[in-house]
Amino acid sequence: MLSQKTRYTIRAFQHLADHWGKGQVQLADIAEAQNIPPKFLTVILSEMAREGLLISQRGRDGGYQLALPPIDISYGDLVRLTRGSLALVPCASRNAHEHCKNCLPEKECRMRSLMLKVRDDTAAILDRITLADPIRMEPLFETEDAAQ
């Protein structure tokens, strides 16, 4: 599962991509439109500005905007910056590899081999889709229909 921080980051970046080329977007506008707590959003956007993905401007007319065109920011970039890895288990991480505790030796572990494939396929998808790509809305599941 994606962390709450990762989900908030993706939604904030989608909002900023929708406003690409229209100037600064105020934090309060992003927070309200995307239902993100403003204090948490401040931390996220500050981190992303330090990473070079956002431009921030202080003051009354300040706000945030993407530092790169939406086509140059992939969902894989955002997940890696906020989550650190796309792997579901530590031993399948390409960039933050760790041996799993209470597991078989890696050379004997079929689950590791499976999780490497899942990680690689997930990375290929998330790295291929950018903020400029349209995302088609999927129909709700039956349980979601009843809840709304």
The residue out of 51, 68, 85 marking a domain boundary is 68
Give the chain's domain count: 2
- More confident site: 126 or 101: 126
Mean pLDDT for 129-148 is 81
Range of the domain at 37: 4-68
Residue 48 has pLDDT above 90, yes or no: yes
The residues near 31 (Cβ < 8 Å, ≥ 6 apart) are 37, 38, 41
Between CA 99 and CA 24 the distance in angstroms is: 44
The residues near 42 (Cβ < 8 Å, ≥ 6 apart) are 27
Whether residue 138 is contained in a domain is answered as no
Mean pLDDT for 118-141 is 92
Whether residue 135 is contained in a domain is answered as no
pLDDT the model gives residue 138 = 87
Residue 23 phi/psi, 5-degree rounding, is 95, -165
The residue out of 68, 97, 117 marking a domain boundary is 68
Q: What is the mean pLDDT of the chain?
A: 89
Closest CA to 44 of 60, 61, 56: 56
Residue 98 has pLDDT above 90, yes or no: no
Same domain, 14 and 61: yes
Same domain, 9 and 61: yes
- More confident site: 125 or 145: 125
pLDDT the model gives residue 92 = 83
pLDDT the model gives residue 105 = 81
Same domain, 84 and 61: no
Return the CA Rg of the chain. 18
Same domain, 84 and 63: no
Same domain, 63 and 13: yes
H helices within 19-134, ranges in order?
A: 27-34, 38-50, 75-83, 110-128
Q: At 24, which CATH number?
A: 1.10.10.10
Residue 33 has pLDDT above 90, yes or no: yes
Whether residue 13 is contained in a domain is answered as yes
Whether residue 142 is contained in a domain is answered as no
